[in-house]
Structure 1
Amino acid sequence: MTDLSVLTHALLNAAKAAGATQADAIAVDGRAVSIDVREGRLEQAERAEGVEIGLRVLIDGRQACVSASDISQRTMDEMAQRAVAMARETPPDPYLGLADPSQLAQNWDLDALELSDASPEPSAEALEHDARVAESAALGVQGVQQVQSASASYSSRRLHIAASNGFEGGYGRTSRSTAAVAIAGEGLEMERDWAAESCTYQADLPDAASIGVLAGQRAVERKGAQQPPTGAYPVLYDERIAAGLISHLISATNGASIARGASWARALLGEQVLPNGLTITEDPHRPRISGSRPFDAEGLPTARRTIVENGVLMGWTLDLATARKLGLQSTGSAARGTSSPPSPGMSNIALTQGDNTREALLREMGTGLWITSMIGSSINPTTGDYSRGAAGFWVENGEIAYPVNECTVAGNLIEMLRSVIPANDGRAYSSHVIPSLLVEGLTLAGK
């Protein structure tokens, strides 16, 4: 097994020899296996594995990043020389720089986070079996004509970061998933839907048959879809897609957008952005959850924080550079890849759960649209104007009347988010625990 610590230190030494005043390095060792089946036969099998390295150098407020998949010393020396040459040609930014050593994370507990499953890697045969079971279960649902795809996958990834300010740390992460896409109907009246689950620990993954059955049932329920009426109606975002609505708020509070003045939320700090009583928290320390991590990409400690409290926006998501530019402190939210510098990123998000079930919200909605899938997106990042294609079910008098497709919902995110009513169906094992959300008064464009 490759010693990632040795690689990062070799990169730092090469950067120093090339003339960098500060540097940080990242090394990632990953492997992934994915199996797809179709019509009872193996359609595709992929396996990828390898080590990638990345180096960021800083010289007098100038920075450059380089990456490679060759881990020879010659390559690392060339990377450092190229990065230093690139950095010297870039314009200076007074906000760039590594963390002060006093800011760095120390004494984290990886065992408590349970990021990596120690059970054996599944064989390709085991993954193929899960994919076949999911496909067979979907085909077993009356009304399903075919299964577009059924797949199972596994990945394992180790990451290590080191920097010239003295920080060093790493961790591993695993993932196991199963998915199926089923099709019901024929010809121009075909409808499809999907189901998928992904977990850090293989033992936590729902069985493949239940995933296939759910995909099949969802597809059959969509048979006979038609356009809804045009007008202003309440809309219920299903739990499967509700996280997308909240993600627009999360994106708007990203420090990079705020620093550029390119966010519709730039003037909303301390203002009401959700109804009173609703809170959004970020918790990067939830065990067995995909977004958890002990430290960020700049070596700062991660911690639970409140983004929205009782409907009021409490702060931005910041890395070191954006925090310095805004005169604030980093929230320990830096994320990066091997070929890119740090930027603000989010981990595990949870929204306050409501008191009612999704079915109760449908009854409360009366007449409107229950959205279960969305396509396309037109979001104005500076005004919050919102327009997306949608499909789902038309609801009349609190009861499902017929499936819906080929429609558009539109509104303004500032107004939409201030009116949301949450259900109580957020999945506790998801990285984003967001329940179904009822939104009043959106504009529907249908028939």
Structure 2
Amino acid sequence: MTETLEDLTRQLLDAARTAGADAADAIAMRGTALSVEVRGGALEHAERSEGTDIGLRVLVGQKVANVSASDTKPSTVAEMADRAVAMAREAPDDPHAGLADPAQLVGTYDLAALELRDPAPEPTAAALQEDALRTEAAARDVDGISQIDSASAGYSLRHVYLAGSNGFSGGYARTSRGISCVAITGSGTAMERDYDGDSRTFQSDLRSPEDIGRRAAERAVARAGAQRPKTGAYPVLFDERVSATLVGHLLAAVNGASVARGASWLRDGLGTQVLPEALSVIEEPHRPRVSGSRPFDGEGLPTRTRRIVEGGRLTGWTLDLATARKLGMESTANAVRGTSGGPSPASWNVRLTQGDRDRDALIREMGTGLLVTSLIGATINQNTGDYSRGAAGLWVENGEVQYPVNECTIAGNLRDMLLGLVPANDARPWLSRVVPSLLVPGMTIAGG
């Protein structure tokens, strides 16, 4: 009989105590993943994986060590604990290490309200293949498509359980179901591609294969005949598909680990204006059926709604226990961890304030500039906020889309870019990062 993840974490903690650890926490993960890819109306690739992984963090005084394994035999658990304690005794002291105080730990929580796991049965490989075939067929039916690079469907189920010698014990399961398609138009040097996809917690929420395939193809066709844009300073409108990357750069800059190292362009920005006054960034870890939701963080602290930016002003950092101690603050319950390492801070679901106009209105407002639909590579200076990325999309003149563009670079400074943001109202509410299309009034575009 397969041992429960709760049993495995208890065994790890007992072994750590026997080996001489003063404190310890353990994580156990068990998952199943299934993916299918088709090409030319036939099965191209199918893969299924199953496994259990365990991780143990021990503290001997203020010395810390982490070990992990994918073997759950009792002998392996005992060896892990012995090795971890031996490693910890040789490690330097970490004055900021330590488990949560029992008073900080999550109490009761309503796991059912988060709807993290679809109760529907696991889809068969045949069902996934059928979804991928329907997606590919819909894309092929669009005029102008020369080939389908890929059409795929997948499913995963992951169980997570955490426990600590401080008394914490808890876990949950999470499902994911997705379909994606990459379509190509043209050939040779005139070849252009684009994509569409959808990933949901519940199968019933997933968009249809036909919609995904058709939209991927239409996007690819819209890029046919792409050319380089003009070089100069112009407004840049980040399409909703890529706009969340801008908020992602902000979240990276307010991550406590970066701030504690002094490697953030916002390291002195607490309480200052980082967005226009009308905009806020709100973290919402309890949204149902969303991939970033969870009842507690990787150290057993209760997650909660948090305003990272309010009225344009930065209100706080994203912290786990260790980085909070380094900065003389309290954890924001944002610890994330896997089996191979200790906790580190990360953001959960976030939502940026939306505007009152749609994307077309912002296109008309920008006059002449670039609508970015795809980003390639990145050069971001974490200390200064200097920003440079390869981009492709559509060139706009007199408030109307004129032609597709590619092979260009957009550059600016994140501090200035974020302070000038103008949001649309087209964010998809089911994503973990709910961010609409965003207009940056001025950036440098290097084209032809």
Fold shared, TM-score > 0.5 on shorter chain:
yes
RMSD over aligned CA atoms reads 0.6
1:269 maps onto 2:270 in alignment? yes
SS of 1:195's equivalent? strand
Q: 2:59 & 2:39 partners in 1: Cα distance?
A: 50
Q: 2:122 & 2:3 partners in 1: Cα distance?
A: 18
* Residue 130 of structure 2: aligned partner: 129
Q: 2:27 & 2:36 partners in 1: Cα distance?
A: 29
* Residue 388 of structure 2: aligned partner: 387
Give deviations 1:45-88, integer Å, cap 9, x for gaps. Answer: 00000110000011111111111110000000111111111111
Q: 2:185 & 2:62 partners in 1: Cα distance?
A: 58
Q: 1:233 & 1:61 partners in 2: Cα distance?
A: 54
Give deviations 1:255-314, integer Å, cap 9, x for gaps. Answer: 001111110001111000000110000000000001000000000000000000010000
Q: How many Å apart are 1:2 and its aligned residue?
A: 3.6
Q: 2:3 & 2:135 partners in 1: Cα distance?
A: 36
* Residue 357 of structure 2: aligned partner: 356
Map 1:127-166 to 2 at 5 A: 127-166=128-167
Map 1:275-294 to 2 at 5 A: 275-294=276-295
1:347 maps onto 2:348 in alignment? yes
1:425 maps onto 2:426 in alignment? yes
Which amino acid counterpart does residue 136 of structure 1 have in structure 2?
A
Q: 2:91 & 2:413 partners in 1: Cα distance?
A: 38
* Residue 256 of structure 1: aligned partner: 257
1:171 maps onto 2:147 in alignment? no
Q: 2:3 & 2:416 partners in 1: Cα distance?
A: 52
Q: 1:44 & 1:260 partners in 2: Cα distance?
A: 44
SS of 2:218's equivalent? helix
Q: 2:226 & 2:88 partners in 1: Cα distance?
A: 56
SS of 1:152's equivalent? strand
* Residue 305 of structure 1: aligned partner: 306
Which amino acid counterpart does residue 312 of structure 2 have in structure 1?
G
* Residue 296 of structure 1: aligned partner: 297
Map 1:398-417 to 2 at 5 A: 398-417=399-418
Q: How many Å apart are 1:93 and its aligned residue?
A: 1.1
Which amino acid counterpart does residue 87 of structure 1 have in structure 2?
A
* Residue 189 of structure 1: aligned partner: 190
Q: 1:313 & 1:46 partners in 2: Cα distance?
A: 44
Give deviations 1:218-243, integer Å, cap 9, x for gaps. Answer: 00000000000110000000000000
* Residue 113 of structure 1: aligned partner: 114
* Residue 227 of structure 1: aligned partner: 228
Map 1:192-211 to 2 at 5 A: 192-211=193-212
* Residue 338 of structure 1: aligned partner: 339
SS of 1:426's equivalent? coil
Give deviations 1:7-27, integer Å, cap 9, x for gaps. Answer: 000000111111110100000
SS of 2:142's equivalent? coil
1:79 maps onto 2:80 in alignment? yes
Q: 1:418 & 1:446 partners in 2: Cα distance?
A: 25
* Residue 14 of structure 2: aligned partner: 13
Q: 1:59 & 1:321 partners in 2: Cα distance?
A: 16
SS of 2:348's equivalent? coil
Q: 2:208 & 2:443 partners in 1: Cα distance?
A: 38
**Structure 2 unaligned spans of 5+:** none
Which amino acid counterpart does residue 353 of structure 1 have in structure 2?
Q
Q: 1:403 & 1:90 partners in 2: Cα distance?
A: 56
Q: 1:340 & 1:146 partners in 2: Cα distance?
A: 43
Which amino acid counterpart does residue 194 of structure 1 have in structure 2?
Y
- Identity percentage over the alignment? 61
1:320 maps onto 2:321 in alignment? yes
1:446 maps onto 2:447 in alignment? yes
Aligned residues: 447
1:64 maps onto 2:61 in alignment? no
Q: How many Å apart are 1:317 and its aligned residue?
A: 0.1
- The runs of at least 4 consecutive aligned structure 1 residues that moved more than 3 Å come to none
* Residue 378 of structure 2: aligned partner: 377
Q: 1:233 & 1:63 partners in 2: Cα distance?
A: 51
Q: 1:288 & 1:190 partners in 2: Cα distance?
A: 38
Which amino acid counterpart does residue 227 of structure 1 have in structure 2?
R
SS of 2:85's equivalent? helix
Q: How many Å apart are 1:399 and its aligned residue?
A: 0.5
TM-score normalised over the length of structure 1? 0.99
SS of 1:392's equivalent? strand
* Residue 218 of structure 1: aligned partner: 219
* Residue 104 of structure 1: aligned partner: 105
Q: How many Å apart are 1:444 and its aligned residue?
A: 0.4
Q: How many Å apart are 1:89 and its aligned residue?
A: 1.6
SS of 1:71's equivalent? coil
Worse overlay, 391-400 or 83-92? 83-92
* Residue 47 of structure 1: aligned partner: 48
TM-score normalised over the length of structure 2? 0.99
* Residue 33 of structure 1: aligned partner: 34
Q: How many Å apart are 1:213 and its aligned residue?
A: 0.2
1:22 maps onto 2:23 in alignment? yes
Which amino acid counterpart does residue 429 of structure 1 have in structure 2?
W
Give deviations 1:185-230, integer Å, cap 9, x for gaps. Answer: 1111000000010000000000111000000000000000000011
Give deviations 1:94-113, integer Å, cap 9, x for gaps. Answer: 11000000000010110100
Which amino acid counterpart does residue 42 of structure 1 have in structure 2?
L
